[in-house]
Amino acid sequence: MSYSNNQSNPFFTGNFAPVDAERDISDLQILGNIPADLAGTLYRVGPNPHFGPRDDNYHWFSGDGMVHAWTIHAGRVAYRNRWVRTPKWELENRAGRALFGTFGNPATSDPITVGQNTGTANTNIVWHGGRLFALEEGHQPFELDVRTLSPKGHQSFGGVLNTRCTAHPKFDPHTGEMHIFAYSPDGPGTPTMLYGVLDRACNMTRLESFEVPYASMAHDFMVTKSHVLFPIMPLTSSLERAMRGQSLFAWEAGLRTHVGVMARGDSTQNLRWFETEACHVFHVMNAWDDGDKIVAYVMQSDVAPGLPDAEGRTVAPARAEARLCRWTLDLAAGKTQIERAYIDDLVAEFPRIDDRFSGLRNRYGFYACHGERAVRDAGEGVLFGSLASFDFSTNQRRLYTLPAGDVTSEPVFVPRSLGAEEGDGWLLSVVWRANERRSDLLIFDAVDLPGGPLATVQLPVRVPFGFHGNWRPHA
């Protein structure tokens, strides 16, 4: 592989740059003590392009997926990483070079890619129904062997799901269902959405598509005990724009943000649409029913980060910074306006909760953030140096800040036991050690984040910046 011609691209520098090897390390060095009850595997996935890109518009979001796995057992930790061997990866691996343009742009792809699968499986990795799936926006879930990470291929769940699927499914902790959605399932730039439900055994029990106000890149959605909510935001998709050599995804500030609300079990034909001024949300922390209202905690920014506007201009970085915000939709008032109020003033992203409370009112939330205003003002984007826990019953925020230059990933909460109180457990985060140019896995007591890590699991190599991860408990 060769990345030598791409050193001017920021996504090929520092810890954004891909690693070029797959490794198996059976026994990692540990500082401190692994909690005796912690046994399972933490999976993370992110972009790691196999070859240098074909065009100058390469974006971090479009790189080949690589999975990183830390298996914890009896106080010891093993590590394994593997590229997700999607059809795209396999085709390019045989050719020995990149064949697809950024985001599969046909204008910059090799002609032999026409009609070929462009999936990268680089955004999220989830455990459901005893199966492990790597996900991204534009394709079916890609199944992996839970231990070896070897490929099992894109899954249609009995031939039912034959189009794209979300990277952010929602799990109902009571029914065991996995709710999925997708934007533009009929092709790039189409103003439609898809909604589906898989039961606890991965059987598709519902799947339908519906029209939306405009074609939008909707990265996340919301599911409560009684409702499903579909956000449509001015980060639009346009195949016509892509064919002109511009970005498939761009910010159109003249549009409004919409949220379609549907009662669970009802038809998407009965969606009720709420709206507000243009704003953007990549990630939802949680949402729940509060009488006749629906409340959601989201990471909101004025514009979408990391992508241009419709004229190809870079958006102002400060306007793309997200903060924790409360959305309230009143179903009984006869109004369609979304009420919005910021909860925290720190720039933050990658919100998580104790997933046993998904769709219910949660007391605790966790996220990565810029913990000091001086750091926030430096314009470090998504390179967060602090972890936060937030108690919504007291509005108290607690922080743990890494040494200067180090960067944390999305935190993942692991309950101490199935019956533990909300928030009683551990918080796991992979961090980049800038001075040493390698990575660590940190394990915190979630109720005492400022107390620092209980254990630091040291890697002799680095884990490039990625997106999301999840925990699979051992039986």
Mean pLDDT of 255-268: 96
CA distance 453 to 441: 10
Q: What is the pLDDT of residue 374?
A: 43
Collect all residues with Cβ–Cβ distance below 8 Å to 77 and sequence separation of at least 6.
27, 28, 30, 34, 70, 71, 441, 457
Q: What is the pLDDT of residue 196?
A: 97
370 is in an annotated binding site: no
Model confidence at 58, pLDDT cuts 50, 70, 90, reads: confident
Q: What is the pLDDT of residue 376?
A: 44
Average pLDDT, the chain: 93
Quickly tell me which residue has 């792809």 as its tokens. 109
Nearest to 246 by CA among 56, 112, 3: 56
Q: What is the pLDDT of residues 11-30, one digit of tens each?
A: 899 999 999 999 999 999 99
59 is in an annotated binding site: no
**Phi (first) and psi of residue 11, to 5 degrees:** -80, 5
258 is in an annotated binding site: no
Mean pLDDT is highest, among 10-19, 231-240, 435-444, for: 435-444
% residues pLDDT > 90 (the chain): 82
% residues pLDDT > 70 (the chain): 96
Does the structure show a pLDDT above 90 at 1? no
Query: Which residue ranges make up each domain of the chain?
Result: 4-473
CA distance 258 to 234: 9
Does the structure show a pLDDT above 60 at 3? no
CA distance 231 to 216: 9
Q: What is the pLDDT of residue 311?
A: 83
Q: What is the pLDDT of residues 341-393, one digit of tens each?
A: 999 999 999 999 999 999 999 999 999 999 865 444 444 567 999 999 999 99
User: What's the token pair of residue 411?
Assistant: 């935190």
Collect all residues with Cβ–Cβ distance below 8 Å to 147 and sequence separation of at least 6.
none
Question: What distance, in Å, lies between the first and last C-alpha atoms of the chain?
Answer: 39
* Integer CA distances (angstroms), 389 to 15, 266, 366, 450, in order: 25, 35, 4, 9
DSSP-assigned letter for residue 338: P
What CATH number was assigned to the domain covering residues 4-473?
Answer: 2.120.10.30
Q: What is the pLDDT of residue 181?
A: 97
168 is in an annotated binding site: yes
Nearest to 82 by CA among 70, 99, 69, 93: 69
CA distance 120 to 76: 31
Half-sphere exposure of 451 (CA within 13 A, CB side): 11
- Say if residues 60 and 46 touch (Cβ distance below 8 Å): no
Lowest mean pLDDT among 56-60, 112-116, 397-401: 56-60
Secondary structure element (H or E) that encloses residue 94, with its range: helix 87-95
CA distance 412 to 27: 22
Q: What is the pLDDT of residue 243?
A: 81
CA distance 209 to 165: 12
Lowest mean pLDDT among 85-94, 183-192, 208-217, 290-299: 183-192
CA distance 149 to 84: 8
Mean pLDDT of 186-205: 95
CA distance 18 to 3: 9
- Say if residues 137 and 193 touch (Cβ distance below 8 Å): no
Nearest to 87 by CA among 127, 55, 58, 50: 50
* Integer CA distances (angstroms), 178 to 201, 224, 293, 322, in order: 10, 12, 23, 27
Mean pLDDT of 112-120: 93
CA distance 223 to 358: 8
Q: What is the pLDDT of residue 378?
A: 40
